[in-house]
Amino acid sequence: MSVTLQLAVPYLVFLGDVPSAVYAKTALGIVQWAPEKCVAQHRFPDCEIDTGLTDMSIAEAAVAGAKSLVIGSAPVGGAIQENWIPSLLEAMAAGLDIVSGLHTKLTDYSVLREAAEKYSVRLIDVRVPPQNLPIGNGEKRTGKRLLAVGTDCSVGKKYTTLAIAEALQAREVNCDFRATGQTGIMIAGSGMPIDSVVCDFTAGAAETLSPDNDPNHWDIVEGQGSLFTPAYAGVSLGLLHGTQPDALVVCHDPLREHIVGCPNHPVPSVQTCIETNLLMARLTNPAVQCIGVSVNTSQVPKSQRQAVLDQISAETGLPAVDPIIDGVEPIIEQLIRLYPSQEHTQLNKTKDGEIA
In the complex, the smallest distance separating the C-beta of residue 71 from a copy of itself, rounded to whole angstroms, is 21
In the complex, the smallest distance separating the C-beta of residue 102 from a copy of itself, rounded to whole angstroms, is 16
Quick count: other Cβ atoms within 10 Å of Cβ 25? 14
Residue closer to a copy of itself, measured from CB, 131 or 299: 131
CB 72 within 8 A of CB 14: yes
Residue closer to a copy of itself, measured from CB, 114 or 200: 200
In the complex, the smallest distance separating the C-beta of residue 254 from a copy of itself, rounded to whole angstroms, is 20
In the complex, the smallest distance separating the C-beta of residue 244 from a copy of itself, rounded to whole angstroms, is 8
Residue closer to a copy of itself, measured from CB, 63 or 283: 283
| ∠ CA 272-275-279, rounded to 5° | 140
**Half-sphere exposure in the Cβ direction for 53 (13 Å, CA):** 30
Handedness of CA 140, 142, 146, 147 (dihedral sign): negative
Residue closer to a copy of itself, measured from CB, 199 or 338: 199
Residue closer to a copy of itself, measured from CB, 190 or 285: 285
Q: How far apart are the first and last CA of the chain?
A: 42
92, 167, 175, 304, 342 from 160: Cα distances, Å: 35, 11, 15, 22, 26
In the complex, the smallest distance separating the C-beta of residue 230 from a copy of itself, rounded to whole angstroms, is 3
In the complex, the smallest distance separating the C-beta of residue 104 from a copy of itself, rounded to whole angstroms, is 15
Query: DSSP string covering 228-294, please?
Result: T-TTTHHHHHHHHHHH--SEEEEEE-TT--B-TT-TTSBPPPHHHHHHHHHHHHTTT-TT-EEEEEE
Residue closer to a copy of itself, measured from CB, 51 or 180: 180
Residue closer to a copy of itself, measured from CB, 96 or 185: 185
Distance (Å, whole) CA 338 – CA 290: 10
DSSP designation for 296: -
Q: Contact positions toward a copy of itself, by CB under 8 A?
A: 135-140, 194-200, 202-204, 227-228, 230-239, 241-242, 259, 261-262, 264-265, 276, 279-280, 283-284
Query: DSSP string covering 50-110, please?
Result: --SSPB--HHHHHHTT--EEEE----TT----GGGHHHHHHHHHTT-EEEE-SSS-GGG-H
CB 166 within 8 A of CB 195: no
In the complex, the smallest distance separating the C-beta of residue 66 from a copy of itself, rounded to whole angstroms, is 32
In the complex, the smallest distance separating the C-beta of residue 138 from a copy of itself, rounded to whole angstroms, is 3
CB 313 within 8 A of CB 293: yes
